[in-house]
Amino acid sequence: MDSYNDYIGQLGTLADIAANFDRMKATVTVTAVNPSTNEILATTNANFVRLQAITKFTVKKKSDNSAFSITPLSIGENSLGTVSINLASPSSVVWIALPGRASTDAAASKSYKFEAKSESKVYGVTKTVDLINNKYYTATLTMGRDVQKLNLAGIPTSGGSQPYGGSPVNVTTVTSGDDTPETLTSPTDYDVTYKKWNTTTNEWENCDAADVEEAGKYKVVVTGTGEFEGTKEQEFDITKITAATVNAALTVGTIADGTQVAQGVNTAIVPDNVLGMTGAQIKAGSIETGSSISIGTQTPNTGWATINNDGQLVTTGGGIVTVTIALPETANHEAGSVTKTIYVKQSGIGGEVPDPTTETW
């Protein structure tokens, strides 16, 4: 960066600008030259033009339009990066030198994001202005607490994801990005809207908070109200549950492999639920079309074990039976299945059912 374009380190006072940042470009016209030596004999007076615009900002709060003191102040602008204004002391009046355009150039508006602190609270505002070099401006900088600094709990981080869980994924808590964070309330401090990406139209569509559940791409938009300024957008994905996770859920969420049961006692294959479904729902396929609980090998013969409409194992004899619980692929999870071996003890016979892999009967 050329030294005359260096705006970093201003103290926010007119005296500081005059001493360190009031840079000018001088233009002279040669009016006479010695033809023998090319020595310049005469010129016009130098015409000095400032290389920046100078603005006096009066800082006020968005909430009640009252003046308040800030420190420090930073300004983000694409061609500048971030310029830090190290205020000499907390103040509600700030003088700033910023690069503008020549008065003869076409209008060129720039967007500046101002960020500041007051009593350890973060404030911010974005202004789009067209500044002309060699001019002085007076402006009011109405700043609200910066929504961009808010922390959102209950949803994945920006660009993050979480697998489908069967319930809405919503913002649960919003805290400020201050030195001492505080919990905020809606709609006093902010409003929240939800959007889902439509893969057919390739655009965002508004949706209800309750609809942020199925696998897909979502966006949360937080808009400041009251004292808060600006908007914050946070995108995230709800992903399909993988086959490995489905199989793991089926493994731990259903009857344990090798369970011993008594003949004639109905036994739940899904004791509580697996991925939010009961045994009856899996058996009937009422939630997941094509899901099933099915009987496999029966030893020593067939027909003595069945699955009823509640997804329970019903037995009329004793022996060994395999049961397979299967879920097809859906919009929210991949396909998976697990097979369990169950030992049924015949009525009137004591002890456990022997495992034919280790014993002979």
Distance separating alpha carbons of residues 255 and 343, to the nearest angstrom = 12
Contact (CB, 8 A) for 124 and 116: yes
Category of 276 on φ-ψ map: left (φ > 0), alpha (ψ -120 to 50) or beta = left
Element holding 212 (H helix, E strand)? none
Q: State pLDDT tens for residues 5-53.
A: 677 889 999 999 999 888 888 888 888 888 888 888 888 888 877 788 9
As assigned by CATH, the class of the 150-239 domain is: mainly beta
DSSP 274: B
The model's pTM: 0.68
**Contact 231/125 with Cβ under 8 angstroms?**
no
- In order of 75, 91, 153, 170, 177, the CA distances from 59 in angstroms are 14, 8, 31, 35, 20
Burial 260-281 (b: 16+ CB within 10 A, else e): ebebeeebebbeeebbebbbbb
Q: What is the pLDDT of residue 1?
A: 35
What is residue 268's three-state secondary structure? strand
- pLDDT 10s digits, 251-283: 999 999 999 999 999 999 999 888 888 899 898
Q: Compute the distance between CA of residue 127 and CA of residue 135 in angstroms, rounded to an integer.
A: 18
Closest CA to 186 of 243, 224, 159, 158: 224
Domain-wise residue ranges, the chain: 3-144, 150-239, 243-345
The Cα 96–Cα 12 span in angstroms is: 6
User: What H or E segment, with its residue span, contains residue 313?
Assistant: strand 312-315
Name the CA dihedral angle for 50, 51, 57, 62, rounded to a multiple of 10 degrees: 150
Residue 91 DSSP label: B
Q: Is 221 helix (H, G, I), strand (E, B) or coil?
A: strand
Calpha distance 326→269 (Å, rounded)? 12
Are the C-beta atoms of 261 and 268 separated by less than 8 Å?
Answer: no
Select the more confidently predicted residue: 167 or 288: 167
- Which pLDDT belongs to residue 286? 56
243-345: same fold as 150-239? yes
Q: Give the end-to-end CA distance of the chain in Å, rounded to a whole number.
A: 89
Strands (E), 64-215: 73-77, 81-85, 93-98, 110-118, 121-129, 136-146, 151-153, 160-163, 173-175, 190-198, 203-207
Instruction: Identify the band that residue 169 occupies on the pLDDT scale cut at 50, 70 and 90.
Output: very high
CATH number for the 243-345 domain, one of 1.10.3470, 2.60.40, 1.10.1660, 2.30.230?
A: 2.60.40
b or e along 284-310 (b: 16 or more beta carbons within 10 Å of the residue's beta carbon)?
Answer: beeebeebbbeeeebbeeeebbebeee
**Residue 66 contacts by C-beta under 8 Å, 6 or more apart in sequence?**
60
pLDDT per residue as tens digits for the range 196-228: 999 999 999 999 999 999 999 999 999 999 999
For the stretch 140-165, pLDDT in tens is 999 999 899 999 999 999 999 999 98
Average pLDDT over residues 86-111: 90
User: Rounded to an integer, what is the distance from CA 148 to the centroid of its chain?
Assistant: 11
What average pLDDT score do residues 175-198 get?
Answer: 95
More confident residue, 174 or 126: 174
